[in-house]
Structure 1
Amino acid sequence: MHDVVIVGAGPVGLFLACELGLAGRSVLVLEREAEPHSSWRSFPLGLRGLSGGSVEAFHRRGMLPALLAASGVDERPEAAAPRSVGHFAGTPLDPAAVDLARLPYRLAGPALDGIMTSLEAVETVLAERAGKLGVEIRRGVSVTAVAEEGAAVVARSGAEEYRARWLVGCDGGRSTVRRLAGFDFVGTEPQLTGYLALATLTDPGVLRRGFAVTPQGMYVTMSEPGHLGVLDFDGGAYDRSQPPTREHLQSVLRRVSGTDVTLGEVHLASSFTDRAKQTTTYRRGRVLLAGDAAHIHSPLGGQGLNLGIGDALNLGWKLAATVAGRAPAGLLDTYTAERHPVGARVLDWSRAQVAVTRPDPHSRAIRSVVRDLLSTRDGTTYVFERTSGTSLRYFGEPGLAGHNAPDFVLADGTRLSDLLQDGRGVALDFSGRLPAVGDRIRHVAGPARDDLGFGAVLVRPDGIVAWAGDRVPDRGSFEEAVRRWFQF
């Protein structure tokens, strides 16, 4: 029997498998697709944006060089300011307008910015890492039943049984695990049908480059010729059981773009909606959900992959500690408590972008106001905080606790990200006044090049600050934080 069975070998399932493997847990990943490679996962259709927070997660596990190489991205120089911000509902934003004074807990580093990559690149890096950590991946396995039996969960695929102490569904927006385990899935119904296609355009010059919001919807021409996205506000009425035909795509594109554009051959095409739903909890008994299995929304803003990686990072160390019998009481429950509100915020972020893109007079008026606000320094900084992970906070009074930890650099050049690579918590004792506590926390004493005014910082394995002390840190409050998160 395995410690954990993960259903789904996409980026979220593989990242979670790596986290559990890093902690020495036995992990089996079951994947429905027989082959890991497809045109939908490679460039250009598999193009995805990783936020600074997601890039930092790879950096903290020592996988950033491999990710950059697989993504065709040059090594990242250390940066103090973001070099890109992205867009909001098609409105591009100027990175020079980000107010750095609003980011008090950021330090310069190679992971401040996001990158453009592909699903295939991310999955290749994670699958290789998982293999080195002893994770077993079985492909071509479709789960047909899930049942708890005492202290175990059984996943069935036909006559085959896969037994584990815990099971995690990372099997996407149409999650089989979510349905079989009886999770409640609530939210809002669609207002639009979206289309993604790779096609030959006989007259590509008639379409504007980049995002184009029109009186009928929105379309976007992407980096490769013929790589198109279209939003049609039809209330989600299109029958998505079959791929869209060339004739249908051309009709929708002509109506939305207001041009007589002609499609030649359609190489690949799919459809999606802006349905936004979330499970009411991320755990039922010994079954948990992560990624799109727990929450779905439109791809506007590109937050889905990043949200899922955040789920895996948060869940991994907590589930590993629970399996090992070393988790403080209620630790696993903090997964839902911390990640569910983050998911709800992303769903609202997606809904807001849909709302200002609707082709009606009220939405056009709101869009005009929003564009004016986004052109300001405050507006640009707000979007950067929301989409980069900078504003992430799980708990705590005003201060550093609950925030993503800055990438502190010690006097010898060692970074916090270097210290987190083995998946343990880290106590940074800049003051040299705190005791070492157990082997599950790496204790590092010594000054930092910039300690941001703190005397010591306790960092969870997922990079979240569990506790921060002033210049003369209080030993009692430090030990209380250690007991809360690590059970000593």
Structure 2
Amino acid sequence: MDHQVVVAGAGPAGLWLAGELRRAGITVAVVEARTERDTRSRALTVHPRTIETFASRGVHEPFVREGIPLPGGHFGALESRLDFRRLPSPFPHTLALPQERTEALLEQQARDLGADILRGRTVTGFTEGAGHVAVHLTGPHGPRTLRAAYLVGCDGTRSTVRAAAGIDFPGTPSTVFGWLADVRLDRPPAPGYSRFAPEGALMAVPLPGGFHRLVGIAPRDLTSTWPGEPTWEELRENVITLAGTDFGMRDPLWLSRYGNATRLAARYRKGRVLLAGDAAHQHFPAGGVGMNVGIQDAANLGWKLAATLDGRAPETLLDTYHAERHPVGADLTETSRAQVALMTAFTPEGLSLRGLLARLITTSPDLNDRLAAQVSSLAVHYPPDDPHAHPLVGTRAPDLALGGTSLFALLRVDRHLLLDFTPGGRLGALARPGLHARTCTPDRSPKDWAGVRAALVRPDGHLAWAGTHDDDTALADSLTAALSVTHRAGAGPLRSATPPPTP
């Protein structure tokens, strides 16, 4: 085979997946039709869970260094913003960072790790055979075919891979069109500025390099007819109508229009073909969650592909990708539709509803925390098949302090992490390839970890198992059952947990 995996699309999801596969030693080619990165940056927001994901591979610092930290986000452009500072994360904020820079950083990491990035080539289709998939390309030197074990479509909402696989993409067309402009402002508003009135909605977000992004919707944009790309004069008029000033806007980098078409792939896997990112879900870009959910798709899929290809896990492990991520996509599309309803509530009744919800967010910390955790992906939970599993199973593991290091620092894409809190590390005899054991005592544990004597953390940072048995034999039996789902039986000593390599 030419590569073990071919990824179609060099957007954030495809590039993070390529990096994950290379960290696990899997050969990968990324095929991208564009010869250069798109300098326009539709995605702007990097959410806390995505920063955590980068931190779990030791590559978060460039993003933190370049991005502008913002203490919260919005839900439906309500006047009361969500306070992310209350989130249980070492990164309780978002980062304002243009997608072009996110892609540049992820591409450089993937290249440094040995991924082949094939720009100027387009996937035209594929042929699935026994034990492989032949991916057909076209490019400057004519047609070419790459043979791989798996093909992953990260090629956007108009995915060629999804169409060639015959995977349905049901949903609803656009009935609302928003606009955006990346501009310089001589008189910028305060960070977090938003305005909502019967005349429309307007938000302003600071960007690196002295620019701002202006995003808005006008009542006339509630239409199923494409209104065309926005003009400079139209956008300036919209801003003045809502804000009473144009903030001294000049030097536009990008003007764009987008809609609320909402679709979700019927299947995330079909044989040797899988989907991730915008190829799997399309929605209105409310709250800047789309790119982040795509990166989390890749985080879920990367270790599963690596474990399957290395023979460390049964092939059926790949079926859990759809089982876990499709519900996340369904929640994403439902939440986006709900936010569209709030963002287009220009009637007196709609304005009253917005006012009520804004007051509730301000006066009900639990509501703030729940919405913030949902928007940031910290609340994502993969329900276990076992109804008797510990409530922690499937949740994101926090960055526990573990005697001079932390949980995120110990995570690796090519192996699970066993946190053994028993005296003397009594579970160390349960050897499996692809498993690190760390005998430790947390410096401080969250309340819901009380009584946990050992925990098995997946490479994507979600808990695969948590044991509370007082009897060591019962504890070991419970762990063995959990390992049988993600690991083939095999001999070999447990390896000591070490910090992950960096590109």
Residue 408 of structure 1 is matched in structure 2 by 400
Give the 5 Å matches for 1:53-92.
53-71=49-67, 84-91=71-78, 92=80
- Aligned partner of 1:177: which letter? V
How many angstroms apart in 2 are the aligned matches of 1:355 and 1:445?
A: 50
Cα distance change of structure 1 residues 197 and 429 upon mapping to structure 2, 3 Å threshold: same
**CA shift at 1:190, angstroms?**
2.2
1:30 Cα deviation after fit: 0.6
Matches within 5 A, 1:319-334: 319-328=305-314, 330-334=316-320
Give the secondary structure class of the aligned counterpart of 1:363: helix
Query: Identity of counterpart residues, as a percentage?
Result: 36
Q: 1:263: Cα distance to partner?
A: 7.6
Q: 1:306 to 1:422 in 2, by over 3 A?
A: closer
Mean Cα deviation higher: 478-487 or 379-388: 379-388
Q: Distance in 1 between matches of 2:223 and 2:301?
A: 33
Does structure 1 residue 211 correspond to structure 2 residue 197?
Answer: no
Question: What is the letter of the counterpart of residue 476 of structure 2?
Answer: R
**SS of equivalent to 2:444:** coil
Deviates more, 1:360-369 or 1:262-271: 262-271
Residue 31 of structure 1 corresponds to which residue in structure 2? 32
Distance in structure 2 (CA, Å) of the matches to 1:424 and 1:205: 48
Relative to structure 1, the CA distance from residue 298 to residue 68 in structure 2 (aligned partners, 3 Å threshold; closer, same or farther) is same
Q: 1:243-266: CA deviations, max 9, x gaps?
A: 4333444565566x3869698775
Deviations 1:26-65 (A, max 9, x none): 10001111012x4313xxxx66222211111000011012
Residue 153 (structure 1) shift: 2.0
Matched residue type, 2:367:
G
Q: Does 1:239 align with 2:239?
A: no
1:135 to 104, 111, 115: 115
2:73–2:94 CA contact under 8 A, matched in 1: no
Q: Give the total of aligned pairs.
A: 462
The Cα offsets for residues 124-153 of structure 1, whole Å up to 9 and x where unpaired, read as: 222222123211001111222233233322
1:1-20 matched pairs, under 5 angstroms: 1-20=2-21
Match of 2:500 in 1: none
Cα–Cα, structure 1 residues 441 and 366, in superposed 2: closer, same or farther, change >3 Å?
A: same
Shift of residue 316 of structure 1? 0.5
CA deviation profile, 1:266-294 (whole Å, cap 9, x unmatched): 54211101111110111122111101110
Contact 1:63 1:125 in 2 (8 A): no
| Counterpart Cα distance in 2 of 1:381 and 1:264 | 37
Please name the residue that 1:80 is paired with: none
1:114 aligns with 2:97: no
Matched-pair contact (CA < 8 Å) for 2:6–2:151: yes
CA spacing shift, 1:64–1:207, aligned 2, 3 Å: closer
Which of the residues 377, 388, 391 maps onto 1:399? 391
* Kept after mapping to 1: 8 A contact 2:72/2:85: no
User: Aligned with 1:222: secondary structure?
Assistant: strand
- Tell whether the 8 Å contact from 2:90 to 2:399 is kept in structure 1 after alignment: no
Deviation at residue 305 of structure 1 after TM alignment: 1.2
- 2:154 is aligned with 1:170: yes
1:67–1:260 distance in 2 versus 1, CA, 3 Å: closer
Output aligned runs, 1:251-400, within 5 Å.
257=242, 266-328=252-314, 330-358=316-344, 359-375=346-362, 376-396=364-384, 397=389, 399-400=391-392
Asked if 1:125 corresponds to 2:105, the answer is yes
Alpha-carbon separation, structure 2, partners of 1:97 and 1:71 = 17
Name which of structure 1's ranges 168-177 and 118-127 shifts more when overlaid on structure 2.
Answer: 118-127
Does structure 1 conserve the Cα–Cα contact (< 8 Å) formed by 2:419 and 2:456? Answer: yes
Matched, 1:433 2:435: no
Give the match for residue 81 of structure 2. Answer: 93
Residue in structure 2 matching 1:444, options 438, 441, 456:
438
**Structure 1: which 5+ runs fail to align?**
74-82, 101-105
Q: 2:97 & 2:189 partners in 1: Cα distance?
A: 28
Please give the alpha-carbon distance, in whole angstroms, between the structure 2 residues aligned to 1:263 and 1:447.
Answer: 55
Report how far residue 205 of structure 1 moved.
8.5
Q: Which residue identity does 2:396 align to in structure 1?
A: N
Alignment-derived partner of residue 204 in structure 2: 221
Moved more, 434-443 or 257-266: 257-266
**Is contact 1:327–1:487 with CA below 8 Å preserved after alignment?**
yes
Change beyond 3 A, Cα 1:307–1:94: closer
Would you say the 8 A contact 2:72–2:84 is kept in 1?
no
Render the CA deviation track for 1:428-487: whole Å, top value 9, x for unaligned. 101122124223000111322124432111111111111111263511001110111222
Q: How far off its partner does 1:347 sit? A: 1.3
Per-residue deviation, 1:208: 12
Q: Separation in 2 of the partners of 1:351 and 1:277?
A: 11
Pair 1:217–1:175, CA change in 2 (3 A): farther
- Give TM-score, length-normalised by structure 1: 0.86
Gapped regions of structure 2 (runs ≥ 5): 490-503
Label 1:468 to 1:49 Cα distance change in 2 as closer, same or farther (>3 A).
same
Distance 1:404 1:199 in 2: 37
Change (3 A) 1:316 1:360: same
